[in-house]
Structure 1
């Protein structure tokens, strides 16, 4: 693990080399983008990142601006800045010319989609896990984050957690307090632009969408599949909600590895079936 400076921010990064003997040198780099506030790169490590590397794909994980061990500046939490952060970081890692396949969980899926629309020449594949795509999600998330900010402001909870020797929980709570009460994160999300059918129609890369059966985000995923020309599948995982990354490692891993192999330019033997649904 290392702190890598890019775009005036130091990002906490972990790289996993492709370990399969048959790894293709021209495969895209697989970059993982995590969710908001209490999430970080570690959520991907065992469920997906290590298996993806063992299957022959070079992997990059990093803590988004303000999250985990990355720097926490006061501003720059909008989607445009996140996309700039991503490609600045890849440049700093010497990967500025490599194609990438983005795997985004929750809000990370939203950022992955923004990146694919902004840099279609670089993003050659998308895997979106529980991506929040509609305007209703933004409103609900803003309410949730605002309530959390109020509860954490001047809270004694981090100190109490440390007293109980719950260091990890204390650290996550302190990070959440900083993000919500001392940065522009909430305002930046409030100002975010909602995706349109025209955006989806402009996607040029293969897309896999994975949602839980009981997730409120399924309708937005189906809307994306309706308009995007190269959605290979929507995987609907039974019995789950917004927790597919944590609770369905086996089925999720199989779906993601199959999609990576099919989407990689070096291994794809045929074009994906647009709009296919797997339930």
Structure 2
């Protein structure tokens, strides 16, 4: 289905759990950048979470999948506003659990910082959250070693340049179903990178500083692959966030959805069940 939110038309999927409505929290799944959309979560995390009794909300972020692709608005603050607007448009009024994969984790953590009252908890699935403007080995008063923004921007620029210089011959692929699908994906990626401000917005992103991370009071579960380029982020986040548990998956890299799907599902469900049980006891 689609909902109108924050001036755009968003593609949304809403799976319902079988718990009583009063005891059925909503889990919002947030996908990564560019070569991603809600389908990567719809076919991995969403079904087992819904089978465990939770409502699950997924949506294609702006410019991705079947959601509108405006020329601007790919900064973090707008992504946070998009999330809040989609949740509201779906009639959800209680705090939600946010599970963010890669860039989706960045959106989830910024939402917890800016709107803690709307967030029940955060799960970061390989979600980078370090300020790249500082390169010291140890956290300082204003920042610490990062580099994700610069690295991501460089990668996206290279991809965009390659797509611009090597246009896909859609006519030649017209007779091949797989080739047609690949052509559609390539065209959408080309438009997102070369016809919007996404790369510029990512390049100028300001990530949370240690002081800002210390202000995030929501419970956070940080999940990283031991072989990931972002693995060093885990211990730093665990030290700086007031309520953060860290779990590292051996023999897994950045793509935890592919490298460790069963372990990932298990970790997320254990966290959701523990928080639900605690909330039930408090009530």
Partner of 2:135: none
Partner of 1:78: 75
1:11 aligns with 2:10: yes
CA distance in 1 between partners of 2:67 and 2:37 (Å): 10
1:109 aligns to what SS in structure 2?
A: helix
Are 1:74 and 1:182, in contact at CA under 8 Å, matched by a contact in 2?
yes
How far is the alpha carbon of 1:28 from its aligned partner?
A: 2.8
1:103 aligns with 2:116: no
**Where in structure 2 are the equivalents of 1:125-136 lying within 5 Å?**
125-134=121-130, 135=132, 136=147
Query: Is the alpha carbon distance of 1:219 and 1:158 closer, same or farther for their aligned partners in structure 2, counting shifts above 3 Å?
Result: farther
Are 2:156 and 2:193, in contact at CA under 8 Å, matched by a contact in 1?
yes
CA distance in 2 between partners of 1:93 and 1:29 (Å): 11
Structure 2 length-normalised TM: 0.89
2:192 aligns to what SS in structure 1?
A: helix
How far is the alpha carbon of 1:88 from its aligned partner?
A: 0.8
How far is the alpha carbon of 1:24 from its aligned partner?
A: 6.0
1:112 aligns with 2:108: yes
CA distance in 2 between partners of 1:33 and 1:115 (Å): 12
Are 2:17 and 2:24, in contact at CA under 8 Å, matched by a contact in 1?
no
- Consecutive unaligned residues of structure 1, counting only runs of 5 or more, are 271-279
How far is the alpha carbon of 1:265 from its aligned partner?
A: 6.9
Query: Is the alpha carbon distance of 1:229 and 1:40 closer, same or farther for their aligned partners in structure 2, counting shifts above 3 Å?
Result: same
CA distance in 1 between partners of 2:122 and 2:10 (Å): 22
CA distance in 2 between partners of 1:60 and 1:38 (Å): 20
Partner of 2:203: 190
- Consecutive unaligned residues of structure 2, counting only runs of 5 or more, are 133-146
1:47 aligns to what SS in structure 2?
A: coil
How far is the alpha carbon of 1:221 from its aligned partner?
A: 2.0
**Where in structure 2 are the equivalents of 1:242-257 lying within 5 Å?**
242-257=254-269
1:52 is aligned, of 49, 53, 57, to: 49
Are 1:158 and 1:171, in contact at CA under 8 Å, matched by a contact in 2?
no
Query: Is the alpha carbon distance of 1:87 and 1:158 closer, same or farther for their aligned partners in structure 2, counting shifts above 3 Å?
Result: farther
1:214 is aligned, of 219, 227, 233, to: 227
1:205 aligns to what SS in structure 2?
A: coil
Computed over aligned residues only, the root mean square deviation of the Cα atoms, in angstroms, reads 1.7
Residue by residue over 1:189-211, the C-alpha shift from the partner in whole angstroms, topping out at 9 and shown as x without a partner, is: 11111221112111111111111
Residue by residue over 1:30-71, the C-alpha shift from the partner in whole angstroms, topping out at 9 and shown as x without a partner, is: 001000001000101232101001101111000000000000
How many aligned residue pairs are there? Answer: 265
How far is the alpha carbon of 1:245 from its aligned partner?
A: 1.1
Residue by residue over 1:147-183, the C-alpha shift from the partner in whole angstroms, topping out at 9 and shown as x without a partner, is: 1111111533261555532233222211110110000
Are 1:17 and 1:53, in contact at CA under 8 Å, matched by a contact in 2?
yes
Are 2:253 and 2:259, in contact at CA under 8 Å, matched by a contact in 1?
no
How far is the alpha carbon of 1:269 from its aligned partner?
A: 5.2
How far is the alpha carbon of 1:248 from its aligned partner?
A: 1.2
2:106 aligns to what SS in structure 1?
A: helix
Structure 1 length-normalised TM: 0.90
Query: Is the alpha carbon distance of 1:24 and 1:256 closer, same or farther for their aligned partners in structure 2, counting shifts above 3 Å?
Result: farther
Partner of 1:224: 237
